[in-house]
Chain A
Amino acid sequence: MKSKSLVFAIAAVLVIALTSIGALAATKKSTIRVEGMKCAKCSGSVEKALKATEGVEKVEVSLKEVVVEYDDQKTSETKLREVINATGFKAVEEKTGSQ
C-alpha cells in the first residue's frame, strides 16, 4: 500500500515537473518597437488587440515599444507584428530576442 502511494506521488511530481518545463520552454518574450504611438489615448488599441491574440500571455505598452510574452506554439513574433500593424501603428524592428 505504501509503495503504491510512493509510486503515485513520484508519478505526480514527474508529471507536474514535465508540464512546467514544457510550459516554460514555450514562453517567449519579444520587445517590438512601434512607430507612431505618440498619442497615449490611442495606444490602448495595441494592448487590446495583442491581448485578444491567441497565445499572448502578457503585454506591456509604452509610447515607443511593446513587450509581449507569448506561447510560441500558438503564435509568433511575425503574427504579433501583423496584429500591431492592423491597429494603425507600425511595428518597425525587433529590439531584443526571445527569452
Chain B
Amino acid sequence: MIRTQKIILLAALLLCAPLVALGQESPAAELSLKDIEGRQIRLSDYRGKVVLINFWATWCPPCRTEIPDLIRLQREHGDLQVIGVTYPPQTLAEVRRFVRKAKVKYPVGLGSKKMMALFSQSESLPMTILIGKDGRIKDIIEGILLPEEFEQKIKPLLK
C-alpha cells in the first residue's frame, strides 16, 4: 500500500515538473496587496501594460543597487509598470524610509514568502517577474537585472 502511494507521489512529481517549467507564458496569478501608503495594488489593474513585479528587500545589496534602474525604466516607458514587493523580514518603517530616500515613484508594498511563491519556487533576491500586456508571465529574472536582459527580454514587449 505504502509502495503504491510512493509510486503515485513520484508520478505526480514527474507530471508536475513540466508544469513548473511551463510556468512561464502562463497567466500571472492575481497579486493583491496594500502599498506602503495603504492604497490597494492589484496586478489586474495594469492589464495592457508590461509589468515588472520586483521582489526585493532593504537588506539585499543587489536589490538596493537595481532600484535606481527600475525608477528610470518606469520614468522612461509609459507602457511599463513596475511594482515593488518586499520580501520578509521587513518592517513598514524601514521600507518607507528607503522608498522616500531613493525617491521610488512606483507602488511598493510589503510582501510575503507566499506572494513570491505565487510566481516562483526560488527564493533568490532580487527577483523580477516579467508580465506581458496580455497578462501572461513572459520571464522570471533571478538576480540583478542586467542591461542586456532589458534589451533582450523587456524592450521587445514594449513595442
Asked if chains A and B come from one complex, the reply is yes
Partner of A36, one of B61, B87, B142, B144: B61
The distance in angstroms between the C-alpha atoms of A29 and B64, with both chains bound, is 29
| Interfacial chain A residues near B62, Cβ < 8 Å | 42, 45-46, 87-89
Closest-CB distance, B124 to chain A (whole angstroms)? 5
The distance in angstroms between the C-alpha atoms of A41 and B151, with both chains bound, is 25
Please state if A44 and B142 are interface contacts (CB–CB under 8 Å): yes
Task: Please judge, given known A-B contacts A86-B65, A87-B65, A88-B65, whether A41 and B60 are in contact too, CB under 8 Å.
Answer: yes
Return the chain B residue nearest A36 by Cβ: B61
Dominant secondary structure at the A interface: loop
Q: State whether the Cβ of B108 lies closer than 8 Å to any Cβ in chain A.
A: no
The distance in angstroms between the C-alpha atoms of A42 and B126, with both chains bound, is 7
Interface residues on chain B, size class:
10 to 19
Closest-CB distance, B59 to chain A (whole angstroms)? 7
| Tally of A-B Cβ pairs under 8 angstroms | 50
Please state if A41 and B65 are interface contacts (CB–CB under 8 Å): no
Interface string of A49-88 (1 = CB under 8 A from B): 1001000000000000000000000000000000000111
Return the chain A residue nearest B64 by Cβ: A88
Q: State whether the Cβ of A95 lies closer than 8 Å to any Cβ in chain B.
A: no
The distance in angstroms between the C-alpha atoms of A97 and B87, with both chains bound, is 38
Q: State whether the Cβ of B82 lies closer than 8 Å to any Cβ in chain A.
A: no
Q: State whether the Cβ of B27 lies closer than 8 Å to any Cβ in chain A.
A: no
The distance in angstroms between the C-alpha atoms of A25 and B144, with both chains bound, is 32
Return the chain B residue nearest A86 by Cβ: B65
The distance in angstroms between the C-alpha atoms of A52 and B146, with both chains bound, is 9
| Interfacial chain B residues near A45, Cβ < 8 Å | 62, 126, 143-144
9 A–B contacts, CB within 8 A, in A order: A36-B61, A39-B59, A41-B87, A44-B124, A45-B126, A45-B143, A49-B143, A87-B65, A87-B144
**Which B residues form the contact surface with A (CB < 8 A)?**
59-66, 87, 123-126, 142-144, 146, 148
Nearest 8 Cβ contacts at the A-B interface = A88-B61, A88-B65, A45-B62, A45-B143, A48-B143, A45-B144, A42-B60, A88-B62
